[in-house]
Amino acid sequence: MALFLTEADVVRLFPMKEAVSAVETAFRRWGEGDATNHPRQRLRVQRSGLQLMAAADAGLGVMGFKAYSTGPQGKFLVHLYSMAGGQLLAILEANWLGAIRTGAASGVATRHMARQDASVVGVIGAGFQARTQLEAVCTVRPVKEARAYSRHEERRQAFAQEMTVHLGIPVRAAASAEECVRDADILVTITNSREPVFDGRWLAEGAHVNAAGGNHWMRREIDETTIQRSSTIVADSVDDARIECGELIWAAERGVLRWERVRELRDVVAGRLPGRAGPLDITLFESQGLALEDVAAAHHIYQRAQVEGVGQPIL
């Protein structure tokens, strides 16, 4: 009997520490050849649209897809299936699942690419996905303080207050993007901006950047200076980045970047490539969001739901 799991179930059954572990293990299996991921497909219809993405994880014995509609009433759902028999295991509401696994992917990249002593974090963006981004970074590094910037003062103030309580570290609202970026060991960008949100000259030596908002060719959070200064550039998937990563597409078309420079997170996690060469290097992770992350998340939540007797039986 398959289970239906709600947003509330997902939040309760998928804490960030477990999310980072599940997503990291999925990337390792992918790097070892035990998983596969298909790029997102977008169907545009009038003022709305439908997006589909699928993956399979042989190590877990599951496969699945996420489908979501865009527009004011957009809905996210993940379908999880058994690879052995093809039976449906679960359907999960996935708005928060997407935010958690996207944060977890940045946590994985931070674990493998940021300096071990990184303790100051800057976050540009103050939406609901910024919360899981900061929480994931704090899960893998000894963060002592964070600052957040949004163009909307009330949002950055509310974000700082909420995350100070949630994480137990001082989080302050920065008055400008430059104040947020200067001297940060780790920088997260999580916006839907079509233009770069900071000047790459502001980055400190040894900084690590998680660019997590620009999963569309028209979006560009990172400028060419950041790309030029980054000695290591890693994408969750190069195939997806060639289709969706606006800042890398833009840089490649202008001759600033050769795609051969861009490595994949699975190879770093599997130990085939280093995440950084030295303490003064600037490193960049480009996150598009993958179906493999959704499948790993859905499987973990489904397993916990079975143990705890959570979920509504369907079919």
Instruction: Dump pLDDT digits (tens) for 67-111.
Output: 988 877 788 999 999 999 999 999 999 999 999 999 999 999 999
220: three-class secondary structure by DSSP: coil
Domain enclosing residue 154, as ranges: 112-290
Same domain, 77 and 203: no
104 within domain boundaries: no
Handedness of CA 299, 38, 70, 125 (dihedral sign): positive
User: Would you state the pLDDT for residue 217?
Assistant: 66
- Out of 17, 66, 75, 144, pick the active-site residue: 66
243 within domain boundaries: yes
What are the structure tokens assigned to 222, written together?
Answer: 């990172």
Distance, CA of 273 to CA of 215 (rounded, Å) = 24
What is the number of structural domains in the chain?
2
Q: Please check whether residue 74 is in contact with residue 88, taking contact to mean a CB–CB distance below 8 angstroms.
A: no
106 within domain boundaries: no
User: Would you state the pLDDT for residue 311?
Assistant: 94
Q: Which regions of the chain are under pLDDT 50? A: none
| DSSP code at position 204 | P
Same domain, 285 and 299: no
Q: What CATH number does the domain containing 233 carry?
A: 3.40.50.720
Task: Say which amino acid occupies 129.
Answer: Q
Identify whether 144 is a catalytic site residue.
no
Distance, CA of 305 to CA of 292 (rounded, Å) = 20
Displacement of CA 312 from its chain's centroid (Å): 28
230 within domain boundaries: yes
Same domain, 81 and 131: no
Same domain, 195 and 304: no
Distance, CA of 151 to CA of 128 (rounded, Å) = 15
User: Apex CA 88: angle with CA 87 and CA 94, to 5°?
Assistant: 155
Strands 145-149 and 41-45: unpaired
Same domain, 28 and 161: no
User: Would you state the pLDDT for residue 44?
Assistant: 79
- pTM listed for this prediction: 0.95
Same domain, 89 and 140: no
CA neighbours closer than 13 Å in the CB half-sphere of residue 186:
32
